[in-house]
Amino acid sequence: MSWKQPIPTDIKDNPNLTSLEVSVFCYIMLFVRNEDGLEQFIHANKHYSQELKRGQCIFKVSKYANEHKIDRKRITRSIGIISKWYTEMDTIPMPFGLIVTIKDYDNIIKMDNGMDSERTVRGQLTRALKSVKTNKTTFKSADERRTVTPVMTEEEILREKGGHII
């Protein structure tokens, strides 16, 4: 199993999508393949093998509809709405469910978004500066607790002993 890409969070800000569409999209993103491979499963007591490419998944509409107690047509319509308003998706109906292909999968999972990178760097710098400040404060308080022996110059030593400076 390969590392899964994160689900983009900007989908929740899209005013054209309801919570059902967001939920369906997140569910699809959980099962989308990150690399090409063969998917094997059992459906209606039959063994199936399906070749899936990067950005594809098998979405079992009836299973999702039964779990959420909604109509299958509503879920299929939700996929169409996601495809229209957020990202283009192709669906291929099969006896075991839909094969969903996310067209711009690489752009969706791209992690070098400037805003996210800037926020991440800013957050890391803030945390680093806080730890440095904490350490400096700790060092200052430790220095203040130490007894410091004053350093005397040669002149002060000679005056104390009554000597003369030449």
| Tens-place pLDDT, residues 103-114 | 988 888 875 544
Dump pLDDT digits (tens) for 43-83: 888 898 999 999 999 999 999 999 999 999 999 999 999 98
Distance of alpha carbon 40 from alpha carbon 51, whole angstroms: 9
Is residue 89 within 8 A of residue 81, CB to CB? The reply is: no
pLDDT at position 155 is 75
pLDDT of residue 113: 47
User: Coil, strand, or helix at residue 74?
Assistant: helix
The helix (run of H) or strand (run of E) holding residue 86 is none
- Cβ neighbors of 20 (< 8 A, separation 6 or more) are 70, 74, 75, 78
Which amino acid is it at 117? S
Determine what percent of the chain is predicted with pLDDT higher than 70.
69
CA–CA distance from 70 to each of 57, 77, 133 (Å)? 21, 12, 55
Contact 155, 165 (CB under 8 A): yes
Average pLDDT of 116-130?
55
SS3 15: coil
Q: How confident is the model at residue 13 (pLDDT cuts 50, 70, 90)?
A: confident
Architecture of domain 9-109: Orthogonal Bundle (1.10)
Extents of the domains making up the chain: 9-109, 114-161
pLDDT of residue 69: 95
